[in-house]
């Protein structure tokens, strides 16, 4: 698998009483052959993370993706 999930958009977390909120693009095939691409919304408090597990069992940290995205802006 060569495609990895990425941050599409950062949302206003305060309206939902969260510390961070974002939309993540999960590419086609991420969860296994035949799985469709999707856009998911994730959010949490402080440094609590959300993880995505790909078809190979690798864990992808949404909080790490968010921090990388913010550092690149």
Task: Give the pair of three-digit tokens for residue 64.
Answer: 């790490």
Computed over every residue of the chain, the mean pLDDT equals 92
Backbone angles phi, psi at 66, to 5 degrees: -65, -45
The separation between the first and the last C-alpha atoms of the chain, rounded to the nearest angstrom, is 26
* Tally of CB atoms within 10 A around 62: 20
Q: 63 pLDDT exceeds 50?
A: yes
For residue 46, what pLDDT is reported?
86
How far apart (Å, rounded) are the C-alpha atoms in residues 66 and 47? Answer: 11
pLDDT digits (tens, 9 = 90+) for 38-62: 999 999 998 899 999 999 999 999 9
For residue 43, CA distances in Å to 27, 40, 46 come to 19, 10, 10
């Amino acid at each position: 698998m060569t495609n990895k999930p990425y941050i599409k958009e950062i949302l206003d977390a305060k309206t939902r009483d969260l510390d961070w909120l974002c939309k993540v693009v999960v590419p086609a095939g991420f969860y296994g052959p035949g799985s469709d691409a999707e856009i998911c919304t994730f959010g949490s408090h402080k440094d609590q993370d959300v993880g995505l597990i790909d078809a190979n069992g690798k864990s992808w940290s949404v909080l790490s993706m968010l921090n990388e995205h913010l550092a690149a802006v």
